[in-house]
Amino acid sequence: MKTADKRQVIVVRKGRHKHAGHHGGAWKVAYADFVTAMMAFFMVMWIIGMDPTVRNSIEGYFSNPVGFKKGYSGGKSPVSSGSSPASLQSAPIRLMTRAIEEARLADVQSHIKTRLDSSGLGELAKNVQFIQTSTGLRIELAEDPSGDLFFPLASAAMKPALHRALELIGAELAPLQNPIEVEGHTDAAQYSGLYSNWELSADRANAARRVLEASGVDPSRIAKVIGLADRDLRYPDNPLDPRNRRISIVLPFVTRADSSTVDAKEQRPPQGG
The fraction of the chain above a pLDDT of 70, given in percent, is 67
Give the rounded distance of the alpha carbon of 24 from its chain centre: 46
DSSP string, 122-172: THHHHTEEEEE-SSEEEEEEE--TTS-SSS-TT-----HHHHHHHHHHHHH
**Type and span of the H or E element at 96:** helix 91-117
Domain 100-261 in CATH: superfamily?
OmpA-like domain (3.30.1330.60)
**Type and span of the H or E element at 140:** strand 136-142
Any idea what DSSP says for residue 75?
T
**Type and span of the H or E element at 42:** helix 26-48
| pLDDT given for residue 134 in this prediction | 86
Q: Is 161 within 8 Å of 124 (Cβ atoms)?
A: yes
Any idea what DSSP says for residue 204?
H
Q: Is 206 within 8 Å of 181 (Cβ atoms)?
A: no
pLDDT digits (tens, 9 = 90+) for 184-241: 999 999 887 789 999 999 999 999 999 999 999 999 999 999 999 999 999 999 999 9
| pLDDT given for residue 30 in this prediction | 78
Q: What angle do CA 165, 253, 250 make, to 5 degrees?
A: 30
pLDDT band, residue 21 (cuts 50/70/90): low
> What is the C-alpha end-to-end distance of the chain, expressed in Å?
134
pLDDT band, residue 271 (cuts 50/70/90): very low
Question: For strand 180-185 and strand 246-252, is the pairing parallel, antiparallel, or unpaired?
Answer: antiparallel
Q: Is 182 within 8 Å of 195 (Cβ atoms)?
A: no
Q: What are phi and psi of 105, to 5 degrees?
A: -65, -35
pLDDT digits (tens, 9 = 90+) for 83-128: 444 444 556 667 778 888 889 999 999 999 999 999 988 888 999 9
Domain spans of the chain, in order of start: 46-89, 100-261
